Structure 1
Amino acid sequence: MPALFTPLTLRNLTIRNRVWIPAMCQYSVEARDGVPTDWHLVHLGQFAIGGAGLVISEATAVSPEGRISDRDTGIWTDEQADAWARVVRFIQSHGAAAGIQLGHAGRKASTFAPWGSDGRRGSLPIADGGWETVGPTTDAFDGFAVPRELDEAGIDRVVADFAAAARRAVTAGFSVLEIHAAHGYLLHQFLSPLVNTRTDSYGGSLENRARLLLRVVQAVRENAGNSVVFVRFSATDWAPDGWDEGQTATVARWAADAGADFFDISTGGAIPGVEIPLSPGYQVPFAASVRAAAGVGVAAVGLITDAAQAEEIVASGSADAVLIGREALRDPHFPLRAAAELGARIDYVPGQYERAPYPAPANS
């Protein structure tokens, strides 16, 4: 059996393979109430039908002000959790594990959605339905509104919001809860020395900058029941004196001690204007570095587009799993295709699709 199609067990959860779907924002809640819709059911459900081992929801806000845009999903109400439960049931009914990414956008919140906004970008004005954003300081992300600096009471509310979101996610049936500490959103903002210039107990040293994340990890773990807890990191800011893979590995070890089970390694997003050297699998070395230095399980992401490439990443020990994003948007059945190309024998091809096997016969 190819390494890509061997099961992986985390806590009490066995995931059927190592081909997973990462969180991909859809900006599709037209009612602006955070409640997932039929779009989310079909969008996420197709990946379970297509053979993925784990399907993770888009970044789902733990509070209204934590949304990236007003069209994001949320899990700060019971109504939202109930709507998510329908999505979870469908994913699980097709053999995949269901995960949710719990996030707070911080100073990068309250933006125009990237499509359907008549080309407008940047912060959504309060007069148009936007809201005041928050961050570690009052420094704004380039081109965005000035955030309010979180005081200790505000930080406590963020931790409580993640805890409440974890409880609702468990009630909805999610077996994986991923804490979003990447891509320049709130928890990454506190981690990055280029963004967090506080001088109190949440700024300065690595221990202080990691304090909020570790509190969130502990709070989520305490409310996660038997669910698995992931943390998504950006392993570098791609800028001198910024957040880097060494700090990521150190904090990953601390997060594991606080209750995290697994880590999803991406890069970038904290500051604008950096050059990212895009190439196939360009982020895999960061995942491998964190895995080796911290001694934790990791998934790799970033321009992973074919079966042989994905197999090599897992078989070589660079990562324990791969997250397929854009390629899965192009082909939601990528895992089934990869299984055929690698000669993996799997028993979860839907009967409805057995008439169209991979590779397509010449006379099809």
Structure 2
Amino acid sequence: MALLFEPYTIRDVTFKNRIVMAPMCMYSCDQEDGKVMDWHKIHYSSRAVGQIGLLIIEATAVLPEGRISPQDLGIWNDEHVEGLTELVRMMKQHGSATGIQLAHAGRKATVDGTIYAPSAIAFSDQYKTPAEMTKEEIEKTITAFKDAAIRSKNAGFDVIEIHAAHGYLINEFLSPLSNLRTDEYGGSSEKRYRFLREIIDQIRSVWNGPLFVRISAHDYTEGGMTPQDYVEMARWMKTQEVDLIDVSSGAVVPAKIDAFPGYQVPYAELLRKEAAIPTGAVGLITSAVQAEEILKNGRADMILLARELLRDPYWPYRAAKELGIEIEVPKQYDRGWVF
């Protein structure tokens, strides 16, 4: 059996394979109310039919001002739970485990009104200047992540992922390029980590299931975070019972990134080995042979696919044929997949 298709267990959840759909914004909430629409139901359940082991739905805002766009999904009040519960039910019908990425866009929010960040620095000339968060606003946001975790549990999700990457709010606190605070939430790496530490602690107080954190392991800018800097933070996450680090990179500041197939895999490998914590590899992974190499050489524990699954919802079937193995096919599609 290829490792890519071997089951993988975290806590009390067993994933039928190591293939994960990475969170990708759908920008499809027509009423700007953050509620699940028909598009979400069709999009995510199609990938479940495609036999993906874990589906992580898009960045879902814990506060309305924390949306990346007005069309993003939300989980800031109880009215969101009904639609998310239905979405979970549809995905699980086809054997996929379900995850939700809890997020706050920080200074990269493109919604009306005031936006918030650790420091009053705009991401670029194309973005608004955020308000520097007061301690009361920090506490409100931490509580919002906790409340969102409770709603995620009520909706039936198997996995929670905290979005601490791509230049959004938590990432802004972690990087010295965007966090110029002089209080207990800024300065040293430990102080910059405090916001994430408190979010993890609050989520863990209400959530016993698998907990992932997505990070941007490299800022690609002088004075910013590097993969080696994240080794220390990964060790802190492990002590807080984070189960897996989803290792992406970039986007906390505008920077040139030399992207090529598997360009982020070395970062996942570094954290896995030096922090002794499971990792997920993501970034221009497109073939089964490439994914299998990553797993067999101990470079990561799960494979996250993003744009490849926009192009092909049934990628796992193609991957199985590429690796010469048979996987379960829904009877409705059996005629189309002769192995």
TM-score category (smaller protein): over 0.9
Secondary structure at the counterpart of residue 52 of structure 2: coil
CA distance in 1, matches of 2:77, 2:39: 19
Alignment map for 1:141-160 (pairs within 5 Å) = 141-143=123-125, 144-160=127-143
1:170 maps to 2:153:
yes
Alignment map for 1:267-306 (pairs within 5 Å) = 267-272=249-254, 274-306=255-287
- In the TM superposition, residue 259 of structure 1 has moved relative to its aligned partner by 2.5
Secondary structure at the counterpart of residue 335 of structure 2: coil
CA distance in 1, matches of 2:264, 2:188: 26
- In the TM superposition, residue 179 of structure 1 has moved relative to its aligned partner by 0.1
CA distance in 2, matches of 1:330, 1:4: 20
Secondary structure at the counterpart of residue 355 of structure 1: helix
1:215 aligned residue: 198
Aligned residues with identical type, % of pairs? 47
Cα distance per residue 1:65-91 (max 9 Å; x no partner) = 110111000011222111001110111
**One-letter code aligned to 1:326:** R
**One-letter code aligned to 1:34:** G
2:72 aligned residue: 72
1:352 aligned residue: 332
Normalised by the size of structure 1, how large is the TM-score?
A: 0.91
Secondary structure at the counterpart of residue 205 of structure 2: helix
Q: Aligned to 2:288, which of 301, 307, 314?
A: 307
- In the TM superposition, residue 358 of structure 1 has moved relative to its aligned partner by 5.5
1:98 aligned residue: 98
1:84 aligned residue: 84
1:135 maps to 2:114:
no
Alignment map for 1:177-326 (pairs within 5 Å) = 177-225=160-208, 227-272=209-254, 274-326=255-307
CA distance in 2, matches of 1:255, 1:282: 24
CA distance in 1, matches of 2:135, 2:54: 36
> Number of residue pairs matched?
338
Q: Is the 8 A contact 1:340 1:358 kept in 2?
A: no
**One-letter code aligned to 1:351:** K
- Off by >4 Å, runs of 4+ in structure 1: none
Note the aligned Cα RMSD (angstroms).
1.0
Cα distance per residue 1:259-301 (max 9 Å; x no partner) = 21111000001001x1111111111111111111110000000
Secondary structure at the counterpart of residue 98 of structure 1: strand
Alignment map for 1:6-45 (pairs within 5 Å) = 6-45=6-45
Q: Is the 8 A contact 1:336 1:358 kept in 2?
A: no
CA distance in 1, matches of 2:119, 2:293: 42
- In the TM superposition, residue 158 of structure 1 has moved relative to its aligned partner by 0.8
Cα distance per residue 1:197-234 (max 9 Å; x no partner) = 11111011000000000111111111113x21100000
Cα distance per residue 1:318-360 (max 9 Å; x no partner) = 110111111111110001211122122323x11111111156x
**One-letter code aligned to 2:337:** P
Normalised by the size of structure 2, how large is the TM-score?
A: 0.98
Gaps in structure 2 of 5+ consecutive residues: none
CA distance in 2, matches of 1:197, 1:149: 10
Secondary structure at the counterpart of residue 345 of structure 1: coil
Gaps in structure 1 of 5+ consecutive residues: 112-123, 125-129, 360-364
CA distance in 1, matches of 2:13, 2:330: 22
CA distance in 2, matches of 1:337, 1:356: 12
- In the TM superposition, residue 255 of structure 1 has moved relative to its aligned partner by 1.4
